[in-house]
């Protein structure tokens, strides 16, 4: 079975442990969630999985073969795409050029890249934006363009870092529909990193919870919703003191 995994990954910055022996596995066609309080190490883990950060120890593997040491563009060419918290679009280029550039960078001819870019914008539901200058887009549209760009070349895995940040409830629901289609219709393995815990609980098959760089819980949404460890990490107090419903944590 195909999979992308972090295996006992640790990261230390000047002696400070950002991640401690973290294990995580993503499989094609499934949606996994990664949640945790601010500073838990979520983005650091995504950076390790995509080649932007070398682990201090442990390894990242794709179908059992080590990816550790590869540069980000080499990881991308192996079928592992990501989005960033800040969008990172080419702000002076039209939307369609943002996707075309990615296709060319992945080795497509310009004609093929343009054709796939147009098809991908249509598939995501933002074809009307194709000639808009990326820097003029509302924040939420930037996120959708970033997802379309990450899907260029039909990667096997896509890691979405805070895709719903700043979105209203209806916009987050639209995003959830896109993510479900990415997994179900395209067969892509998805890892979604979100502060919107309710969205993650409603979207993911399996969820991993980080706190202070370590995995404190993992399981299906029901197990995470009922976990005292998770409530304590978010609320700062035991479950028998604060009976919080995780779905309202954002």
- Is pLDDT at 120 greater than 60 in this prediction? yes
- Is pLDDT at 12 greater than 70 in this prediction? yes
What pLDDT is stored for residue 236 in this prediction?
58
Give me the chain's average pLDDT, please: 90
pTM for the complete prediction? 0.89
Residue with tokens 């979604």: 192
Q: How far apart are CA 158 and CA 38, in angstroms?
A: 22
**Cβ-Cβ contacts under 8 Å for 81 (sequence gap 6 or more):** 150, 151, 152, 153, 155, 157, 158, 159
Q: Using an 8 Å Cβ cutoff, are 28 and 156 in contact?
A: yes
Q: Domains along the chain?
A: 4-28+40-87+149-248 (3.40.50.300)
- Is pLDDT at 244 greater than 50 in this prediction? no
Q: How far apart are CA 79 and CA 12, in angstroms?
A: 27
Q: What is the DSSP letter of 237?
A: S
> What is the rounded average pLDDT of the residues 161-183?
91
Name the CA radius of gyration of the chain, rounded.
Answer: 18
> What is the rounded average pLDDT of the residues 72-85?
94
Q: How far apart are CA 68 and CA 60, in angstroms?
A: 6
Q: How far apart are CA 9 and CA 123, in angstroms?
A: 35
CA dihedral 41, 43, 45, 47 (to 10 degrees): -140
Render pLDDT for 15-56 as a digit per residue (tens, 0 to 9): 789 999 999 999 999 999 999 988 899 999 999 999 999 999
Render pLDDT for 126-166 as a digit per residue (tens, 0 to 9): 999 999 999 999 888 899 999 999 999 999 999 999 998 88
> What is the rounded average pLDDT of the residues 116-134?
96
- Is pLDDT at 238 greater than 70 in this prediction? no
CB-count exposure of residue 98 (10 Å: 0-12, 13-18, 19+): buried
What pLDDT is stored for residue 235 in this prediction?
65
């Amino acid at each position: 079975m195909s999979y992308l995994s972090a295996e006992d990954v640790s990261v230390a910055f000047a002696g400070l442990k950002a991640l401690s022996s973290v294990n995580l596995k993503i499989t094609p066609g499934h949606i996994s969630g990664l949640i945790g309080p601010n500073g838990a190490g979520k983005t650091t883990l995504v950076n390790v999985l995509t080649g932007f950060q070398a682990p201090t120890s442990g390894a990242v593997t794709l179908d059992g073969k080590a990816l550790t040491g590869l540069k980000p563009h080499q990881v991308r060419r192996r079928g592992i795409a990501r989005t960033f918290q800040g969008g990172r679009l080419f702000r002076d280029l039209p939307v369609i050029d943002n996707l075309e550039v990615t296709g060319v960078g992945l080795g497509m001819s310009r004609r093929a890249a343009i054709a796939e870019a147009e098809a991908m914008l249509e598939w995501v539901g933002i074809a009307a934006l194709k000639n808009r200058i990326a820097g003029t887009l509302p924040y939420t549209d930037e996120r959708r363009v970033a997802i379309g760009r990450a899907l260029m070349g039909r990667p096997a895995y896509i890691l979405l870092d805070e895709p719903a940040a700043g979105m209203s409830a209806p916009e987050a629901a639209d995003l959830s529909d896109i993510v479900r289609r990415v997994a179900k219709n395209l067969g892509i393995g998805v890892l979604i990193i979100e502060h919107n815990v309710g969205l993650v609980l409603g979207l993911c098959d399996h969820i991993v919870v980080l706190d202070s760089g370590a995995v404190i819980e993992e399981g299906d949404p029901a197990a995470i919703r009922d976990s005292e460890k998770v409530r304590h990490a978010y609320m700062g107090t035991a479950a028998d003191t604060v009976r919080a419903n995780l779905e309202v944590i954002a």
